[in-house]
Amino acid sequence: MNDVETLRGGARDKDPAVLRVFTEVRQQRERLSRLMNAHDAARLILGLLYLSRTARTVSRAGVPTWSWLLSEAAERRSPIGPSLRKCLAHWLPANDAGGDDTGTRDLMPVPPPGADGPLRGLILAIGSVQQVGTLLDQCLRDLSAEQARGSHYFTPGDMARLMVGAAAPQDGHSVLDPVCGSGGLLVESHRYVHERIGLNPTMSLRGKDQHAHTSQVARINLAVRGIEAHVFPPGDSLAAPEPDQYDIVLANLPFNQHNWAPEHQVTRQNWHLPADPRWPEEPPPRGSANSAWILHIAHALAPHGRAAFLMADSVAKSPQPVTRRLRERLLRADLVECVIALPPRVFGHTEATACLWVLNKDKRPRPGWGSTDRRGQVLFINARRAFEPVPGTRARRLGDKHTESILTTLATWRGIAENRATSTSYGDEPGWARSCSTEEIARRKHDLMPTSYAVEPAGPERDTRSRIDQLKLELVEKLDQVRALESRLLDVLEEI
């Protein structure tokens, strides 16, 4: 799935010339969307943005460049579609950094007949601006909105900033996103470190996505921004353990993914996974990949590694034995550092609530990190009501203020002396944050739901909200059970 509209500048740019181009691109995109589906139109604009940054003058004759394409669009002597396809075929990034394109360059949509007008308008508009960050961010937002109908959205920008800030990558770190989507979490990791050191980071950025089209979007997104990264050929990250260990793992995971194991490993009649170092105690259940993803990420962490990933609420609290044993193993290994209950409806396409989990393999104080020893402790942050409305819509977002509040609380708890963290020591705040020992969590059947610990002061309003939250969680758990039973029933019917 997964993974972002990431922001560098973005629509906050108030330059009138940029805003005029922004409006022109939106209008031409709407015209193009009447001739082809909106998803393909957005991807085609991404291709144009990529060409505007990379298809520069070369010494070899006959190589199509951006300047050549601009002149073709301006002269209007012949249809622009063939010229655009020629330019894309030459310059689009290959499927693999090693040069094995396996048809990736052919993944770009073919402009339909009658698209000459909007295509020329788009090429000329994009060619008139020096910085394309605003256009790129908006194009990714449009593409995410189209894909969200199938739950294949990109991580919102404020959520990306929260996830990266919680994991706190540093210069020289290796970063992996096993479900990278548009590559936004990798872009945000680069921005986060660049902002702190003032130099181009020396980071190893790696991403993988199961879908070829999305992998192409990630390569374009990173390349347009001038960020050096490697996006692996399309593939299923859960198919095998990661061959390398990483300092940072970031992931906007697919929730409750069914029948997730590769077909060559299991049959419909036999759910028996082969020996795998990711789950030495027991294999994850077939009905949901939630446990498999968490164990996959934990196994990929280096000795001092950290991870931040989104996960359905049910995993933090479900009484189902297999999920409870997973939480017990994570706490026994002292891997869980922080769990943050996020507001509902901040992803736009779903009412489902989720938590941000932060894992840390080394919670000791040390130079360059925090000053507080947090071994045997977990921080719970209840950010259920930390949202703001999106102006002009019914949608919600986390927003910069709430993102900063969460990160300040986590930094203070870690004892990190950063701009966001004050010099005061951490203290629990009812209804917002509470630090708990792993012994207390074990006594509560390894419950990792922040709303169970960072509880609001008693009162009728809190009691009503708590009951509603509990009913929602119970409903989600029942629906998960129904889906698992449905999968088993289909297996039985096929055997008859």
In CATH, what number is assigned to the domain containing residue 450?
3.40.50.150
Residue 486 falls inside a structural domain: no
Contact at 8 Å (CB) between 133 and 9? yes
Give the domain-ending residue among 147, 171, 202.
Answer: 147
Percentage of residues in the chain having pLDDT higher than 70: 83
Contacts of 449 (CB under 8 A, 6+ apart): 313, 316, 317, 339, 341, 355, 473
pLDDT score recorded for residue 264: 58
**Sheet of strand 377-382, all strands in order from the earlier edge strand to the far edge:** 230-231, 204-207, 174-177, 246-252, 301-312, 354-360, 336-341, 377-382, 433-437
What is the band of 465 on the pLDDT scale with cuts at 50, 70, 90?
A: low
Residue 81 falls inside a structural domain: yes
Q: Do residues 281 and 173 share a domain?
A: yes
Q: Do residues 34 and 94 share a domain?
A: yes
Domain range for 62: 10-147
32 or 18, higher pLDDT? 32
Please report, to the nearest 10 degrees, the dihedral formed by the alpha carbons of residues 33, 35, 37, 43 taken in order. -70
Q: Do residues 238 and 270 share a domain?
A: yes
Residue 22 falls inside a structural domain: yes
Percentage of residues in the chain having pLDDT higher than 90: 55
Q: Do residues 281 and 336 share a domain?
A: yes
Q: Do residues 34 and 49 share a domain?
A: yes
Evaluate if residue 101 carries a pLDDT over 50: no
Q: How far apart are CA 444 and CA 55, in angstroms?
A: 59
The count of structural domains within the chain is 2
pLDDT score recorded for residue 92: 87
Average pLDDT over residues 468-478: 70
CB atoms near residue 352 (< 10 Å):
17
310: part of which helix (H) or strand (E)?
strand 301-312
Q: Of 52, 185, 225, 29, whose CA–CA distance to 130 is shortest?
A: 52
Q: Do residues 142 and 166 share a domain?
A: no
89: part of which helix (H) or strand (E)?
helix 80-91
Q: Do residues 130 and 263 share a domain?
A: no
Q: Do residues 156 and 285 share a domain?
A: yes
Q: Do residues 308 and 215 share a domain?
A: yes
Q: How far apart are CA 318 and CA 34, in angstroms?
A: 46
Average pLDDT over residues 197-221: 92
Q: Do residues 138 and 158 share a domain?
A: no
417 or 335, higher pLDDT? 335
pLDDT score recorded for residue 194: 96
What is the band of 17 on the pLDDT scale with cuts at 50, 70, 90?
A: confident
Residue 489 falls inside a structural domain: no
Q: Do residues 267 and 411 share a domain?
A: yes
Q: Do residues 136 and 165 share a domain?
A: no
Using one digit for the tens of pLDDT, what is the confidence trace for 422-432?
Answer: 557 899 999 99
Using one digit for the tens of pLDDT, what is the confidence trace for 225-267?
Answer: 999 999 999 999 999 999 999 999 999 998 888 778 766 565 5
Using one digit for the tens of pLDDT, what is the confidence trace for 80-91?
Answer: 999 999 999 999
pLDDT score recorded for residue 274: 77
Residue 487 falls inside a structural domain: no
What is the band of 487 on the pLDDT scale with cuts at 50, 70, 90?
A: low
Residue 187 falls inside a structural domain: yes
